[in-house]
Amino acid sequence: MKATHVKRAFKYRFSPTDAQAAELSRTFGCVRKVYNLALAVRTEAWMRQERVSYIQTSAMLTAWKKTEELAYLNEVSSVPLQQALRHLQTAFTNFFGKRARYPRFKSRKKSRKSAEYTTSAFRFRDGKLTLAKMAEPLDIVWSRPLPEGAQPSTVTVSQDAAGRWYVSLLVEDPTVQPLPAAGTAVGVDVGLGHLLTLSTGEKVANPRHERRDRARLAKAQRQLARTAKGEGANRRKAREKVAKVYARIADRRRDHLHKLTTRLVRENQTIVIEDLTVRNMVKNSRLARAISDAAWADFRSMLEYKAHWYGREVIAVDRWFPSSKLCSACGTLRDKLPLNVRTWTCDCGTTHDRDVNAANSLLAAGLADSVCGAGARPQRSSPGGQSAMKQKSPRREP
């Protein structure tokens, strides 16, 4: 496989000075204001069955800056404001392409605080990064080195709900190269009792990160609930305490998933997973917390982009494929298999662990799709010896 340089974001913590924090906070507010103004204009046009382009909103931004009401937009760098309009354009492109929902307005309290700078709005020299409108470089904690000779194409500054400041540098990383071809393939069945069950029989325990901090989180939330609503200092501090607990949970979860997906990609040439609709599954009020904590969508996202980096293949089998009820040894399909049945014996005499069998069935279905093309399936017979039962074919990832 021909090697191509991958653009990769390197994220670091930094500690801004009071002046830098004030400048960035103003920029975050202006970015949010411009995004919401442009979205309002485009939404009104959409209601009239018209479309407004990025070029038109860019011209509107120039006009807004000349008004007395919005003159404060001139106080910050213009580049993050233009980038906000580009991000809105991308959101509409994804909406029209039926890949995302209609863009939503940014909330001052809930939306992510961030600003994106392109090369014309920052200077990166000798390992020091200086943003537009700032006299001093950012005090960055270089927790890992950038690739040698790397020059960022974009820089994104953000602040999370816990008050932590981050800077993300997008660079070309020549160290990311396709791995040597491996002759192994694995099926992966996700779950709640075990986070992952592999077709090899290995089961990865579910760390249940949220459950470990549930008492601490509940205490912080009770303290927040007792504070008076509004913009008081006590409520802000209580809100930050809750955010810090959530951040701790998210950091542990992300770290675990990164290690897990990196290992799977390095060890296997082909990885077969199930095409789950997590967004619909979390509507189940009894399982929503556990499903969200398992972060199946994040697992799949990491798996797919790392497979792309390292020359591996991820195949997603259709969500309706009966992986648990299908005997991976003979292809017999059971009529029913309640969730409380964790082991079962097929008519062929094979005793299955429910999750391991599902992983093996997914692997067989995914490899059949990869070799024979979409729609191809090993023949399956019903317990009564009936003819093969048709199922939806799995969808292979692009």
Query: Is 167 within the bounds of a domain?
Result: yes
Q: Give tens-digit pLDDT for 107-147.
A: 988 899 999 999 999 999 988 999 999 999 999 999 999 99
Query: Is 332 within the bounds of a domain?
Result: no
* The pLDDT of residue 141: 96
Mean pLDDT of the chain: 88
The total number of structural domains that make up the chain: 1
Catalytic site residue from 23, 189, 293, 369? 189
Query: Is 222 within the bounds of a domain?
Result: no
Q: Would you say residue 312 has pLDDT above 60?
A: yes
Catalytic site residue from 23, 210, 274, 304? 274
Closest CA to 362 of 281, 273, 294: 273
Q: Would you say residue 64 has pLDDT above 90?
A: yes
In angstroms, the CA 221 to CA 237 distance is 12
In angstroms, the CA 358 to CA 364 distance is 10
If one counts every other C-beta atom within 10 angstroms of the C-beta of residue 36, the result is 18
pTM of structure: 0.82
**Residue 189 a catalytic site member:** yes
Residue 21: which domain range?
Answer: 6-173
If one counts every other C-beta atom within 10 angstroms of the C-beta of residue 103, the result is 19
Confidence label for 390 from pLDDT (cuts 50, 70 and 90): very low
Lowest mean pLDDT among 48-57, 247-256, 300-309, 324-333: 324-333
In sequence order, which residues have a C-beta less than 8 Å from that of residue 219 and are 6 or more positions away? none
Query: Is 375 within the bounds of a domain?
Result: no
Catalytic site residue from 23, 116, 304, 355? 355
The residue-averaged pLDDT of 175-194 equals 91
Query: Is 290 within the bounds of a domain?
Result: no
Q: Give tens-digit pLDDT for 192-229.
A: 989 999 999 999 999 999 999 999 999 999 999 999 88
In angstroms, the CA 234 to CA 284 distance is 35
Query: Is 104 within the bounds of a domain?
Result: yes
Render 162-210 in DSSP notation, one character per residue.
TS-EEEEEEEEETT--PPPP---EEEEEE-SSEEEEETTS-EEE---HH
In angstroms, the CA 219 to CA 96 distance is 43
The residue-averaged pLDDT of 33-59 equals 95
In angstroms, the CA 314 to CA 298 distance is 14
* The pLDDT of residue 72: 96
Query: Is 24 within the bounds of a domain?
Result: yes
**Percent of the chain topping pLDDT 70:** 92
Query: Is 369 within the bounds of a domain?
Result: no
**Residue 274 a catalytic site member:** yes
The residue-averaged pLDDT of 264-287 equals 89
In angstroms, the CA 10 to CA 174 distance is 14
Q: Would you say residue 153 has pLDDT above 80?
A: yes
